[in-house]
Amino acid sequence: MVVLKTKNTHSVLKDRSFVDTTVYLKIQEICLGADGANITGYYFIKPDDNERVLDFINMDPINWETVEAIEANLNAFDANSLRAAINQRAVEFAFAVLQQEGDEKNYNIPANDWEVEETEATV
């Protein structure tokens, strides 16, 4: 759905040693239900152009009140199709959640060090 990558390299554990590398965050799915939004995905690096998973997103569902509070600070839709609108909102929502969670939950990577690598809605 959405892949973010760091603008700078960061030191992460690979095997038994730390490496300085670009870190990626893939948001595979945002599921909406009665209790709110549930996000699934994982952090990874690309040594030798192969994805190597570092960790899976492990968070509680985001309740609707929190979703509404985040969305109140987002831009109005500028998309002219459902797919583009979903992509836009998924990217904006990902950045908002990264900011809300803080650096410690995201490999000590500041929220402003992430950028979009690709978006593709699966609708």
Average pLDDT along the chain:
84
> pLDDT tier at 20 (50, 70, 90 boundaries)?
very high
**In DSSP terms, which residues pair with 52 in a beta bridge?**
45
120 — phi, psi (to 5°)? Answer: -160, 105
Instruction: Please report, for residues 35, 37, 73, 76, the alpha-carbon distance to residue 60 in angstroms, rounded to integers and kept in the order given.
Output: 11, 9, 21, 27
pLDDT value at residue 123: 45
Note the pLDDT tens digit of each residue in 45-76.
Answer: 998 888 899 988 877 788 899 888 888 887 78
Q: Which residues of 100-121 are buried (b: 16+ CB within 10 A; e: fewer)?
A: eeeeeebbebebebbeeeebeb
pLDDT in tens, 28-46: 888 888 988 888 889 999 9
Res. 99: pLDDT tops 80: no
